[in-house]
Amino acid sequence: MHAQNVKNYYPPTSISVEEMVGDQRQFLQLIVSKDLSANKKTGLLSFTSYSAPYKSHSGNNEFQNTTLIHQHLFSGIGIQSGVSFIPTEGIKNFIGLQYFYQNKALTLIYLPSYYLKNNHKISNMALLEYQPVITKNWSLYTRVQMLYSHSQHSENPTKSYVYSRLGVTHKSISFGLAHNLDRQGAHSTIQNNYGLFIKI
C-alpha cells in the first residue's frame, strides 16, 4: 500500500461540521483544511471544538482550537507549526511533524508536537477515519480522534481525549453512535459522554 501523490491529499478547501448530543454534554466540532500553494504542498489545518453541559453553568463550558500550517516533504511526511488554545493552558505555540495517508476508504493524520514555552508540553494528535463502501450511496463510517499530552512539569494541567464514532454515511452526511472521553489536569479528571452524532 503506497501513499498517494501529495496533490490528492487535500481538496482545495475541505470543511466538516459535527454535532454530538450526549448524555452529559453537547459537543460541536469544526475541521477546516485548505491548500495554501498551487502545488498543494503547503496547507492549513484547523480543529475547533466547543462542548457544554445541559445545565447553564458557563464555567463548565469548554472551547479548544488547534490551527497549524504544514509543509509536505516526502512520502506523506511533513513539518508543521501552529497555535493551540485550551482554557486551562491558554495560547501555546508549537512545532512538530505531520504524517498523512489517504486512500478511497482510509484517512490517517498524525501530528506529534512540542510546545515551546512554559510547560514544555509534548502532544500526540491522531485522526483515523475508515469508510468502506456498502452500496452506491451508503458506506460504513468509523472514526477515532485522539490527543495525548504530557507536561514535563506534572503540576501543570494538560488535556487528553479520545473521541470515537461508529455509524453510516449516506452521500455526504454521516450519523450514528458517539463516545467522547476527556481527561483534564494533572490529577486526571475523566469525563465520559455517550450519545449520537451527525456530521456533514
pLDDT > 70? residue 7: no
Tell me how far apart the alpha carbons of residues 51 and 162 are, in angstroms, rounded to a whole number.
Answer: 14
In degrees rounded to 5, what are phi and psi of residue 171? 55, -105
Task: Name every residue whose Cβ is closer than 8 Å to that of residue 90 and which is 6 or more positions away in sequence.
Answer: none
pLDDT tier, 158 (very low <50, low <70, confident <90, very high otherwise) = confident
Domains of the chain: residue spans and CATH: 6-199 (2.40.160)
Going from the C-alpha of 91 to that of each of 51, 85, 135, the distances in angstroms are 18, 5, 45
Rounded to 5, what percent of the chain is helix, strand, coil?
5, 70, 30
Give which of 61, 72, 56, 66 is closest to 10, Cα–Cα.
72
Number of Cβ atoms within 10 Å of the Cβ of 164 = 15
The SS3 call for residue 6 is helix
pLDDT of residue 156: 58
User: How are beta strands 159-170 and 90-102 bridged, if at all?
Assistant: unpaired
Average pLDDT rounded to a whole number, residues 58-83: 91
Grid coordinates representing 189 are 479528571
pLDDT of residue 112: 96
Tell me how far apart the alpha carbons of residues 148 and 124 are, in angstroms, rounded to a whole number.
Answer: 5
Task: Name every residue whose Cβ is closer than 8 Å to that of residue 138 and which is 6 or more positions away in sequence.
Answer: 168, 169, 170
Average pLDDT rounded to a whole number, residues 115-128: 85
In degrees rounded to 5, what are phi and psi of residue 140? -70, 145
pLDDT > 90? residue 81: yes
Tell me how far apart the alpha carbons of residues 31 and 3 are, in angstroms, rounded to a whole number.
Answer: 22
Q: What is the CA radius of gyration of the chain?
A: 17
Angle, alpha carbons 154-155-159 (nearest 5°): 75
pLDDT of residue 2: 41
pTM of the model: 0.85
Average pLDDT, the chain: 87
